[in-house]
Structure 1
């Protein structure tokens, strides 16, 4: 990504590589551990959702969204609108254990061409409020939006809505400001607060949310051991020390180049397209942890951790499969800093251990690993089963 200028030297904007737009949202089920999100159906979800929402006896939870439905016709009309609408595109939040719809949510102001999508029309019943399922529902919507290729994920609310104003930053959104006198609702002025989460911020936010949602973060009574903010701070340990931080999608051009260099080091031909696609998938899907070392805006090295489990210890671990330093930055301690950051991150996540493998003749790397406390395995042989590509 680089800034483009016109012939007068005026900055025009940063390039967006290979932008083809995002995928329009689909009516699909998003499966979680505490809840699932299903395309809203009045027949399937209406009765359960109404029963859950009517547990709010005094109606205070309706203050900022819409007047509370009063009659059977009101509820039916509202549910009918939810089922028929495509923007907003509504989902029922279904409790995984009971199968009851206990809330609803939607994507709205959907703009695939520009890569912008908003989350809104949130109706959390008393059965859903302040539960792990409530956070998981927001995580599932975020993850799917970025998987569909959106660059900007928005949250907007009435600036007087204190619970919503607190929820957005907790979930990782950045406050952007208040649009004054944005609307007139029921004869009342509404100032609208704007929040956003960008694709470049998603990998770090995803890691924090997944750490919070992990089963190990809850005790036998279902009480959290660490708050979402504590998980975020723990993961940030490696992002502010010695130039090492978690990679984001904004790093993709430079990081893909380093990854291609790593593959060439192990005998692969130069294949920039494959390297770019592979790293992009890891960053978007969040199925690996990538740490980068940055100096003066340039990435000089990276390491990549792949989650796994150790059955004997019955605990999570990670495979440190990639460690690479740009040739111009070698012998400057970059590899050592990346390994130290990986160790700190592993401790912060409660991993049982880190594992790696290296070539027999890679003596330089072996010396580095052993100097930092890594122990050579002598009790087990490693085997590999190559599989033919079909």
Structure 2
């Protein structure tokens, strides 16, 4: 990305590489460990959601959303609107254990062409509030929005809504300000607080949320071992340490340069822009696992792991597609450390085998692999079919 200027030297904006818009939201089901997020159906979710929301007997949780439904007709009208609407596009938050809808939410103000989408209309019943599922549902919806290619994910709320004002930064949103006198709700002024999460911020925030949601972060009674803030501080500290760690978007300039060096090692021309775009896509989409080796703030090497499946084993395997160490840092232990870390990360994810391919004349790499227990395949022939 680079800043563009007009003929008078005025900055016009940073280029958005290959922008073609985001995918309009689909009625998909998102599966988590404690909950799932399903397209709202009045028949499937209505009774359970009403029962869960009516556990709020004094109605205090409706204050900032809408008047509380009072009759069967009110509930039916609201559920009918949710089922028929496409913007907002409503989903039910369903407890995995019981199968009951315990909350609802929506994507809204959907601008696929501009790459902007908002999360809102959050209705958390007492069964959902302050639970793991409450956070996991928001993580699932964030992840899906960025997978669809959105650049900006918004959260807006009444500036007087203290729980919502606390929840947004906890989930990784950045406070942008307050739109004063933004609306009139039921004859009352509403000042609206704006928060956002950008695609460039998502990989780091995703890592924080996944670290918190990991089953290992909870004891036998379901109590968290580390808060979200503690996970965020821990991961931030890791990015400052020497050794091997997961790559983040902040590594893009150095990592793209290393990746371009790797491609040149295998005979490709210097294509820095292509390398930059490719690595940026991997970091944003999270479809591969990239580990980097850092020393004194500089990235000296990386490895990229691509998910596959073995039909014979009926289990996941990973292809160690790239391993590269900068020329000046070779024979420093960086390659060995990356391979050791790759094996540890893969094993922790339930991967049963790592595969790799290397050039037949790359004797140095072959010696390293053999010294670490990798075995050369002498049973199967490897074939390729070029499609373009």
2:256 and 2:360 map into 1 onto residues whose CA distance is 26
* Residues 1:83 and 2:78 aligned together: no
Find the aligned partners of 2:125 and 2:75 in 1 and give their Cα distance: 15
Say if 1:238 and 1:341, in contact at 8 Å, map to a contact too. no
Cα distance in 2 for partners of 1:361, 1:134 equals 53
TM-score, scaled to structure 1: 0.79
Change in CA separation of 1:67 and 1:146 when aligned onto 2, cut-off 3 Å: same
Indicate the SS of the match to 1:16: coil
Q: Report if the CA contact (8 A) 1:294-1:300 is conserved.
A: yes
Q: Which moved more, 1:230-239 or 1:125-134?
A: 230-239
| Partner secondary structure for residue 77 of structure 1 | helix
Task: Indicate whether 1:114 and 2:109 are aligned.
Answer: no
Partner of 2:236: 236
Q: Which residue does the alignment assign to 1:16?
A: 16
- Could you say which residue in structure 2 is the equivalent of 1:59? 59
How far does the alpha carbon of each residue in 1:195-236 deviate from its partner, in whole angstroms, 9 at most, with x for none? Answer: 000000000111111111111111111111111111111111
- The verdict on how the C-alpha distance between 1:209 and 1:375 changes in structure 2, with shifts beyond 3 A counting, is farther
For residue 203 of structure 1, give the secondary structure of its aligned residue in structure 2.
Answer: helix
Aligned to 1:315: none
Deviates more, 1:377-386 or 1:280-289: 377-386
Q: Aligned partners of 1:40 and 1:227: how far apart in 2?
A: 31
Equivalences for residues 247-266 of structure 1 within 5 A: 247-248=247-248, 255-256=255-256, 258-266=258-266
Residue in 1 aligned with 2:201?
Answer: 201
Contact 2:117–2:153 (Cα < 8 Å) also in 1: yes
Shift of 1:388: 5.0
Structural RMSD (CA): 4.2
1:263 positional shift? 3.4
- Alpha-carbon distance in 2 for matches of 1:181, 1:240: 43
Distance 1:69 1:127 in 2: 19
Corresponding residue of 2:3: 3
Q: Which moved more, 1:110-119 or 1:223-232?
A: 223-232
| Distance of aligned partners of 1:43 and 1:176 in 2 relative to their CA distance in 1, 3 Å threshold | same
Residues 93, 105 of structure 2: 8 Å contact kept: yes
Contact 1:206 1:286 in 2 (8 A): no
Aligned equivalents of 1:375, 1:60: Cα separation in 2:
65
* TM-score normalized with structure 2 length: 0.79
Where does structure 1 lack aligned partners over 5 or more consecutive residues? 309-317
* Structure 1 position 156, deviation (Å): 0.5
How does 1:1-390 map onto structure 2 within 5 Å? Answer: 1-240=1-240, 247-248=247-248, 255-256=255-256, 258-266=258-266, 279-290=279-290, 302-304=302-304, 322=322, 324=324, 331=328, 376-377=371-372, 386=382
Cα 1:134–1:255 change in 2 (3 A) is: same
Report the CA distance between 1:279 and its aligned residue.
3.1
- Structure 1 residue 152 displacement after superposition: 0.2
Compared with structure 1, are the counterparts of its residues 250 and 229 closer, same or farther at alpha carbon in structure 2 (3 Å cutoff)?
Answer: closer
Number of residue pairs the alignment of both structures matches: 375
Change (3 A) 1:339 1:81: farther
- 1:266 deviates by 4.4
CA contact (8 A) 1:238 1:345 kept: no
User: Does the 8 A contact of 1:207 with 1:286 survive in 2?
Assistant: no
Tell whether the 8 Å contact from 2:93 to 2:103 is kept in structure 1 after alignment: yes
Query: Runs of 5+ in structure 2 lacking a partner?
Result: 309-317
The verdict on how the C-alpha distance between 1:151 and 1:336 changes in structure 2, with shifts beyond 3 A counting, is farther
What SS does structure 2 have at the residue aligned with 1:37?
strand
